Amino acid sequence: MRFAGIVIPMLLLFALPAAARGIHYGAVTDTALVACDQLTWRGQRDAASRCYRGLLTSSSSLAIRAEVAWALGDVKSANELFGAAVKQRSTPALLTRWGELYAETHQNSEALKLYQEALQADKNYAFAQVGAASVLVYQFATQANAYLQPVMEGSAVPPGARLRALLLAARVNLEDSDTSRAAELLSQATQVATAAQLPQLEIYALQASVELLLSPLGTDVTQSSWVKKALAENPAYGDIYAIPAHFYVITRRTREAVDLYKRAVQIQPDNWEARVDYGSSLLRDNQISAAREQMEAAYKGDPYNVVTVNTLRLLDSLKDYDVLAYPEITGHETGSVQSLRDQTPIVLRLHKKESAVLGPYARKLTEEAIAVYTKQFNFKLKEPVVVEVYPNHEDFAVRTAGEPGLGLLGVTFGYVVAMDSPSSRATDEFHWGTTLWHELAHVFTLESTDHRVPRWFSEGISVYEEWSSGPVKGISIPAEVYAAFKAGKALPVAELDRGFIRPETPGQVMVSYMQAGLICEFIDREFGTARFNDMLAAFKSGMDTSKAVQSVFKISPKEFDTRFNAFMQREFSNLFDHFDAWENDRSTMQAAFSHADWATVMQSAQAALSVLPNDVEGGSPYVALARAYNGTDRAAQAQTTLETYFKRGGHDPEALRWLATRLRSQQKFSEAALVLDAINYVTPFNYEVHGELGDTLLTLKRPAEALSEFQAALKLDPPDRATAYYRLARALQALQRNAEARKNVLMVLEVAPNFRPAQQLLLELARTK
């Protein structure tokens, strides 16, 4: 994998410009050094630099010299000096400060080791506890609480450590959309900072973030009293804009984030973290050139940030992609002179090795989705939809989060959709057509609410649309999610966002996706799909989930949960009542399948399907049952089984290929075409499937569609090129494009001079001149 991660060695090799060292809140106590720090915190950078340089020559303390080198941007020297100081005399305070150096240079694992070493020396050293928590909390590690709580609740905790703990907790609560709790914590933080005379700049930035999240649309956060107060204390404090911008990012309001990050780097050009985030936000807004400019500047200032390095490599790779722009979609007036924004075309960014085959399918599905969603949500898109498809999953991960290792299949940034290519994953774990359909629903729910829709409802609608209007219809839920529902692990609707943003268990995100989809299914059946738009309007107006539920359904969130749980029992009571038997039957079926014990496979598969007839996920009993029937010469029953499987949303390519062959042999060409077309939304790079679909469409007198399939087959470089050209010629003949047909026949005869069907077709074409 091209972006498998970047290992930065323990010895720091480069020097960073100034401003890498953050506010330490009393973790450093030397009065001369703190006097220099206070100049920095007030934005008096030149005076601070002179002050630090004076200490560099006057102080004999290795620890102080390390802090000074760090403040002056010489990270290499700071690291060496910390190492020498620890070797001379190791203390929890010194180890913790060394850990902070690593944390601020994006080396969290090394930082955590140093924090833990400090805590081995003093298990109650509060600054090390907060440092460890700050590293772990952004890895969604629940053990962060074990470090944070003692600092929050202890009686003999230094005020600076308590302040850092309160600020971290406030930030986490803001990320969980709990503005009330965040405001309480910030009030406590203000009291601690005031009593201890500690800097309050970060408090101001977080208070501005609370204001931002609670304000009506269009409110200018730059006019907040908190912003003015911060800039009065430090005119170069870029985080007064960058921290609120972060909350725009996590609420998917990219363009507002871009504006704030731009202000942050204008007043503090060497705020490299803000510059990276600025570049990332520009990239999410499809401003490729501007994003590169910011990332290149950030790399020059901070070469340690892997997000910067990975993003620059990704941007370099875009030269290998085609950009395909399509005109007005079906249903809009064509031929008129309108701006690109009014026309709402589709732009596809596809890898050159895949664009010729994938492009027509991606375009068709995108057009269909936009037509469906425009009607469903009564919202017309105002800009082009950009769809990016990455054949290397790690490229997609970098595009999304700046680092490899992302578990998602697709992501939406307003009008930009990025996703894995079907070539990036095994066919049994990825239906690319469904993923694209899911992500395009996000474009509508995000844009129609000015990005105010909570994550759970946006995801819920996307999952619901997968099941109801997408290329694979029918409710389809993984077995492990059913187990979680049976165990009562669903969250209350008012807290469901937490399952996406800060999951407590590895499987909670998937459970939350499925629960959100089922809630939307419940809303559809109990209240009607019109309530979807009512909910979206409530969210756009600024309501949270609890208020939206009360306003739209006229019941409390608690009553909503009660009615949803009753719906779940009605829908899945048979499964919940026989869950252990269902799991056992599935397990027995799979074991028997592995050694072709068809009698056992049939018995256990039928038993499993009697409990859950819609079991079409991976390892579906339908596929095993059909194989068992086929293995015992009962092809008709195998066909019937797979027809049911297909209608319920099953999409195993091998099973569907067998079904299509049977249907074609029975001259059921319309049914066969549907099955073959469905295969291409799972695995579109099979030239045989394209050829068979083209033949079927030609039989159905649909030559234009057949031609597209034959072109795709030829672009996949089939070994039998003579047949590929012959198929093209037949489709062109049916379209009365005889000159082009003749050229393709000649290509056939050039490859295979004795190909008799081609010779016959050439004679037919000669007679039609």
Return d(Cα 767, Cα 769) in angstroms, integer.
6
List of E strands, 301-353:
321-326, 346-351
- The residues that bridge with 321 in the sheet, in sequence order, are 351
User: Residue 586 corresponds to which tokens in the numbers above?
Assistant: 């599935």
With respect to residue 686, please indicate whether it lies within any of the assigned structural domains. Answer: yes
Return d(Cα 223, Cα 113) in angstroms, integer.
42
HSE-up (13 A, CA, CB side) for residue 110:
18
633 alpha carbon, distance to own chain's centre: 46
User: Residue 337 corresponds to which tokens in the numbers above?
Assistant: 């002179």
Q: How many residues does the chain have?
A: 769
Say which range, 133-147, 509-523, 583-597, has the weakest mean pLDDT: 133-147
User: Residue 604 corresponds to which tokens in the numbers above?
Assistant: 């256990």
Pairing of strands 385-390, 321-326: unpaired
Return d(Cα 82, Cα 63) in angstroms, integer.
6
Integer CA distances (angstroms), 539 to 129, 247, 254, 442, 449, in order: 38, 17, 17, 14, 7
User: Residue 629 corresponds to which tokens in the numbers above?
Assistant: 């029937």
The stretches of 378-529 forming alpha helices (DSSP H) are: 393-401, 432-448, 455-468, 479-486, 496-501, 508-527
- The residues that bridge with 346 in the sheet, in sequence order, are 326, 385
Nearest-5° Cα angle at 371, 286 to 456? 65
Residue 16: predicted pLDDT: 33
Residue at 365: amino acid letter: L
With respect to residue 126, please indicate whether it lies within any of the assigned structural domains. Answer: yes
The per-residue pLDDT for range 263-307, each reduced to its tens digit, is 999 999 999 999 999 999 999 999 999 999 999 999 999 888 899
- The residues that bridge with 737 in the sheet, in sequence order, are none
Domain end marker among 206, 238, 270 = 238
Residue 263: Cβ within 10 Å count: 19
Q: Which long-range contacts (CB under 8 A, 24 or more apart) does 525-533 make?
A: 525/567, 526/563, 526/567, 527/553, 529/376, 532/376, 532/377, 532/461, 533/377, 533/378
Report the run of H or E that residue 292 belongs to, with start and end: helix 288-301
Closest of 386, 318, 385 to residue 352, by C-alpha: 318
CATH number where 50 lies: 1.25.40.10
With respect to residue 292, please indicate whether it lies within any of the assigned structural domains. Answer: no
Q: With a cut of 50, say whether residue 589 has pLDDT above it.
A: yes
Q: How confident is the model at residue 139 (pLDDT cuts 50, 70, 90)?
A: low
Residue 352: Cβ within 10 Å count: 10
The per-residue pLDDT for range 390-425, each reduced to its tens digit, is 999 999 989 988 877 677 899 999 999 999 999 998
Write the CB contacts of 145 (distance below 8 Å, at least 6 apart in sequence): 133
Which residue in the block uniquely carries the two structure tokens 């899911």?
438
With respect to residue 317, please indicate whether it lies within any of the assigned structural domains. Answer: no
Which residue in the block uniquely carries the two structure tokens 């031929």?
335
Residue 273: predicted pLDDT: 93
Torsions phi, psi for 326 (to 5 deg): -115, 150
Return d(Cα 744, Cα 730) in angstroms, integer.
9
Instruction: Report the share of the chain in percent with pLDDT over 70.
Output: 94
Residue 194: Cβ within 10 Å count: 11
Domain end marker among 238, 259, 280 = 238
Name the residue range of residue 722's domain: 610-767
The per-residue pLDDT for range 606-645, each reduced to its tens digit, is 999 999 999 998 899 999 999 999 999 999 999 999 999 9
Closest of 480, 485, 633, 493 to residue 560, by C-alpha: 493
Which residue in the block uniquely carries the two structure tokens 């802090």?
67
With respect to residue 576, please indicate whether it lies within any of the assigned structural domains. Answer: no
Residue 141: predicted pLDDT: 59
* Order of all β-strands in the sheet with 321-326: 321-326, 346-351, 385-390, 416-420, 410-413
Residue 3: predicted pLDDT: 25
Instruction: Report the share of the chain in percent with pLDDT over 90.
Output: 79
Q: Which long-range contacts (CB under 8 A, 24 or more apart) does 336-344 make?
A: 340/384, 341/382, 341/383, 341/384, 343/384, 344/370, 344/380, 344/381, 344/382, 344/383, 344/384, 344/385
User: Residue 76 corresponds to which tokens in the numbers above?
Assistant: 């290499």
Domain end marker among 220, 238, 256 = 238
Given its phi and psi angles, is residue 90 left (phi above 0), alpha (psi -120 to 50 degrees) or beta?
beta
With respect to residue 441, please indicate whether it lies within any of the assigned structural domains. Answer: no
With respect to residue 714, please indicate whether it lies within any of the assigned structural domains. Answer: yes
- What burial letters (b/e) apply to 745-759, b meaning 16+ CB within 10 Å? bebbbebbeebeebe
Return d(Cα 686, Cα 254) in angstroms, integer.
38
For 367-378, the three-class secondary structure string (H helix, E strand, C coil) is HHHHHHHHHHHC
With respect to residue 439, please indicate whether it lies within any of the assigned structural domains. Answer: no
Instruction: Please state the domain count of the chain.
Output: 2
Q: With a cut of 60, say whether residue 258 has pLDDT above it.
A: yes
Mean pLDDT of the residues in the chain: 90
Q: Is the dihedral of CA 439, 441, 443, 447 positive or negative?
A: negative
Pairing of strands 416-420, 410-413: antiparallel
Q: How confident is the model at residue 502 (pLDDT cuts 50, 70, 90)?
A: confident
Say which range, 66-75, 249-258, 440-449, 583-592, has the weakest mean pLDDT: 249-258
The per-residue pLDDT for range 444-497, each reduced to its tens digit, is 999 999 998 999 999 999 999 999 999 998 898 988 899 999 988 999 999 999
Return d(Cα 87, Cα 62) in angstroms, integer.
10
Contact predicate 3/313, CB 8 Å: yes
User: Residue 725 corresponds to which tokens in the numbers above?
Assistant: 């050209």
Q: How confident is the model at residue 7 (pLDDT cuts 50, 70, 90)?
A: very low
Query: Is the pTM above the cut of 0.85?
Result: yes
Given its phi and psi angles, is residue 717 left (phi above 0), alpha (psi -120 to 50 degrees) or beta?
left
Report the run of H or E that residue 742 belongs to, with start and end: helix 738-751
Burial of 561 (0-12, 13-18, 19+ CB in 10 A): buried
Residue 428: predicted pLDDT: 67
Residue 692: predicted pLDDT: 97
Say which range, 139-153, 456-470, 621-635, 657-671, has the weakest mean pLDDT: 139-153
Residue 13: predicted pLDDT: 28
